[in-house]
């Protein structure tokens, strides 16, 4: 299940994913990366779409299983 291809994820999306995997809220991620909350939310949704992951819980499991934290 977690043998997803990370090549489709952009460097900016990967930054968001790494911060998300640390349990940070989108507001904090946005401030840390100097982006709007809407941009960060869109980038997270884009990652989920590219990896075919439907929920935040499954996204977190993916992060933990691929050592993205």
Per-domain boundaries in the chain? 11-65
Contact 16, 50 (CB under 8 A): no
User: Which of the listed CATH numbers 3.90.1720.10, 1.25.40.10, 1.10.10.10, 3.40.50.2300 matches domain 11-65?
Assistant: 1.10.10.10
Compute the distance between CA of residue 29 and CA of residue 41 in angstroms, rounded to an integer: 10
The predicted pLDDT at position 6 comes to 79
Span 34-51, average pLDDT: 97
Does position 17 have pLDDT exceeding 70, yes or no?
yes
Does position 2 have pLDDT exceeding 50, yes or no?
no
pTM above 0.85, yes or no: yes
Sequence-distant (6+) residues with CB within 8 A of 7 are none
Which segment of 2-6, 13-17, 29-33 scores lowest on mean pLDDT? 2-6
**What phi and psi values does residue 55 have, to the nearest 5 degrees?**
-130, 160
């Amino acid at each position: 299940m977690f043998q997803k291809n990370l090549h489709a994820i952009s460097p900016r999306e990967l930054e968001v994913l790494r911060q998300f995997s640390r349990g940070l809220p989108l507001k904090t991620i946005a401030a840390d990366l100097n982006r709007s909350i809407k941009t960060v939310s869109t980038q997270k949704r884009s990652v989920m779409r590219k990896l075919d992951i439907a929920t935040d819980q499954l996204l977190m499991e993916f992060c933990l299983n691929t050592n993205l934290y």
